[in-house]
Amino acid sequence: SKNSVTTMLSRLFRMHGLFVASHPWEVIVGTVTLTICMMSMNMFTGNDKICGWNYECPKFEEDEVRENIARGMAILGPTFTLDALVECLVIGVGTMSGVRQLEIMCCFGCMSVLANYFVFMTFFPACVSLVLELSRESREGRPIWQLSHFARVLEEEENKPNPVTQRVKMIMSLGLVLVHAHSRWIADPSPQNSTTENSKVSLGLDENVSKRIEPSVSLWQFYLSKMISMDVEQVITLSLALLLAVKYIFFEQAETESTLSLKNPITSPVVTQKKVPDNCCRREPVLVRSNQKLQAVEEETRVNSEKKAEVIKPFVAETDTSNKATFVVGNSSLDPSLEPEGQEPEIELPTEPRPNEECLQILGNAEKGAKFLSDAEVIQLVNAKHIPAYKLETLMETHERGVSIRRQLLSKKLPEPSSLQYLPYRDYNYSLVMGACCENVIGYMPIPVGVAGPLCLDGKEFQVPMATTEGCLVASTNRGCRAIGLGGGASSRVLADGMTRGPVVRLPRACDSAEVKAWLETPEGFAVIKEAFDSTSRFARLQKLHISVAGRNLYIRFQSRSGDAMGMNMISKGTEKALTKLQEYFPELQILAVSGNYCTDKKPAAINWIEGRGKSVVCEAVIPAKVVREVLKTTTEALVDVNINKNLVGSAMAGSIGGYNAHAANIVTAIYIACGQDAAQNVGSSNCITIMEASGPTNEDLYISCTMPSIEIGTVGGGTNLLPQQACLQMLGVQGACKDNPGENARQLARIVCGTVMAGELSLMAALAAGHLVRSHMIHNRSKINLQDLQGTCTKKAA
C-alpha cells in the first residue's frame, strides 16, 4: 500500500515536471504575469493600456531534456512538497501566539515557503529546460556551470534515502494539522474581535478605493517611475540582493566548478595522494607499455560508462580526461570502471637500510624486485659493487627512478652537491633513450627552440625549427626567409645522395695493395663486392668505390644510398661484409679498421668537399632590388662586394676547406639539434660556398646561391626517435621514412637545410654590408649600453 502511494506520487510529479519542461515559455510568462498581478492587486484599472505585451513565444522541445527534468521532479517533488508542508505548519504555529510582531513574521515566513515551493515546482524547471535548449549551440553541447547546484541536489537526495526522517515529518505534519484545526475552527472565536477585524478589512478596502489609478503611460515607464521613487528601505534591500547575486556569480563559480565539473557529465571523487618520503614509503606505479594500450583502456572505460551508468546529462561532451565526474539517479550505481585506475598500494619500507644480503634477496625475488628497496638501499648496493651504476635504469622498476638514484650517487661526488638541482630529469620517456641515444643518464637539457619562416622553397612553405642559445640567430634567419619569400621563393636540387665509409686494410707489400686496387676497379671485382655489400640491407645499395694507396695500406671509400636514415651504421655493416668477402679473394689482406678516416666523418676533409658525402644540394634565389633596399637595408652592389672579399677571398686567405660562407654552421647546428640529428656532423655538413651576383635588367637585383656538397642527415634512427625531435620533423612534414619513395624525406630535409642556410647567409651579409651587425648583437644579445652614437663600419650604405 505504501509503495503504491509512493509510486502514484512519483508518477504525478513526473507528469508535472514533464509538463513544465515541455512548456517552459508558458510557465515562465505565466509565473511572471501572476507575480505582477499580485503586486498590482491594490491598483485597480479600467483599461488594458498597461498590458502592452501580447505575443506568442516560440517553443522547442528536446526529449532527453524533458525526460531528465521530469525524472528529477519525480524524485524531488514528494520530498519538497512534504518539506514545504511541514515548514508552513511549524511556522504557522507562531500566527496563533497573540503577539502582533511574531504573527506578522510568521505570516511572511509561511508566504516565503510557499513562494519558494511554487517557484521550484514551476519556474525553476521551466528555466532549466529553456536554458539547456538555448545554450546547446553557444556552449557546444556542454552544460553550463549554474546548473551544478541542481545536479548536486539530485545526487544528494537520491543517494541518502532515509525513511525514518520521512515518517517523522509525516507524523509532525498530521499533528500540526490537528493543532491548527483545533485552534482556528473548533475553539470559539470572539465575536467582538471578529467584528473588529471585519471593520478593519472594510476600512482597508475603502482606503484602497482612493488608490485606484487610471494609467496613462506604458508598463515599463510605470515601473521605472516606481523604482526611481523607492524609499531607503527598498534601496538597501535591492543593494543587498545585487551584492548577493554578484557574490554568487563571480566568487562562488570557481568553488562550484571544482566541486562538480559539468563539462564532463560524469563525476567521481578525486583521490588525493599523500606525499611520503622516498626512503620509507613508495607507491607501486602502473606502467603503460604503449600509446595503443592507453587508448584502448580509455576507449573501454568510455564504453563501459555509457552502458552501465545512468546519468543525467543534457548534452554529452566528449573529453580526453581519464578521471570523469558523475552523478546518478534512480537505482544506478557508479560504474566500477570509472573508479580511479592505478590505485597504487603503498609499500612500507624501513627507514634504515637493511643488510646487503637481505636487499640482494629482495632484488632477485621475481615477485618483489627493486620497488621493495628504498633509494638508500639501492645506493648501498651500488657502492658495494653488487649493482653496476650503468645498469640502474634496467634494474629499477622505472627508468626515471634509476636516473634519480644515479643523480644522488653523483651529487655526493661533486664539488657542489646541489649542482644538479636545475638539471631536470622527471617526466621524460627514457625508454627511447636507453640503448639508442645516451648512457649513464642524469637528466635532459632543455634548449630554446625558435621558428624561422615561412621559407618559400620549391613552391612550398616551411616553418623551420631551430634549437639554439645564440641570440639574433633565429631573428636574422627569419628576415632572410622573408626576403626570399618576397622575391618569389627559392629553388633547390639534390645533386647526389650517398653516405660513405672508408676502411683501411693492409697487405704484405705495396705492390699487393696496387693489385687489390686494380681488381676492385674492374667490373667483375666491383660486382662481387657490391653483391656482398647489398645483401646486408634492403636500402643499402653500393654506388661506387673510391680507392687510394699509401704504401702497403689500402683505403677504400664505400659510397651507398641509405634510404631515409643518415646511414652510418647501415654502411658500416655493409662495409664489414664486403671486406670479409674481399679476404676470400685475397687471404693475405688484413683489416686494420672499418673506419680509416677516409670517409671522412666529423672532421674537416677536402674529400667531402670535392666528392661529397650524404646529400649534395644546391639552392638559389633572386631578390628584387626593392626587397634588398627595404627589407635587407642595403644595396646589391654592397652585398656582392662584401661576399667576394669576405666569403671567397677571406676564406681562401685562411686556407679554409669548404668554409666559403658567412655562418652556415650556425643554421645547420640549430636545425640538427631541433630535429634529432648528430650535432657533431655539422663539421662536414656545414661545407658551403655562397655566391652573390648582380642580376636583372639594371643589375640591381641580387642573385644568391648556396652549394652544400656534404649534408649528413636522416629522418629515422638515432635522435629522431625522441618525441620532441619528432615533433620538429613533423613541422617540416618529413618525420619518419617515406613509404612511396624511400629516402625522399631525408632529401627534402637536406633541401630545407640548404634553403635555410641561404636565408641566414642573406640576412647576415646584409647586416655586415649595412654595418648593423655589432649594433644588433649589442642591443639584442649581449649588452644594454647606449649605442646611439655607434656608427656603422661599412663605407657603402644603402641608397
Catalytic one among 678, 693, 700, 744?
A: 678
- For residue 55 the three cell numbers come to 505575443
Catalytic one among 49, 149, 777, 796?
A: 777
Catalytic one among 49, 263, 371, 602?
A: 602
Q: Is 678 a catalytic residue?
A: yes
Helices (H), 453-567: 473-486, 510-520, 523-534
571 contacts 501 by C-beta, under 8 angstroms = yes
369 contacts 402 by C-beta, under 8 angstroms = no
> Half-sphere exposure (CA, 13 Å, Cβ side) for 724?
18
692 contacts 635 by C-beta, under 8 angstroms = no
Residue 634 neighbours by CB distance under 10 Å? 25
Catalytic one among 103, 155, 470, 700?
A: 470
Q: Is 602 a catalytic residue?
A: yes
Selection from 91, 87, 109 nearest residue 169 by Cα: 87
Give all strands (DSSP E) within 485-613, no chain letters.
491-501, 504-506, 541-550, 553-561, 590-593
Q: What is the Cα–Cα distance from 525 to 518, expressed in whole angstroms?
A: 9
Cα–Cα separations (whole angstroms), residue 777 to 294, 642, 782, 792: 48, 19, 6, 13
What is the enclosing helix (H) or strand (E) of 219? helix 219-228
Q: Which residues have C-beta within 8 Å of that of residue 701, sequence separation ≥ 6?
A: 622, 623, 624, 625, 628, 636, 694, 695
Residue 635 neighbours by CB distance under 10 Å? 22
Phi, psi of 734 (to 5 degrees): -130, 25
Helices (H) and strands (E) in the chain, counts: 29, 15
Selection from 527, 594, 534 nearest residue 563 by Cα: 534
654 contacts 645 by C-beta, under 8 angstroms = no
Q: Is 470 a catalytic residue?
A: yes
Give the residue numbers annotated as catalytic, written as ranges: 470, 602, 678, 777
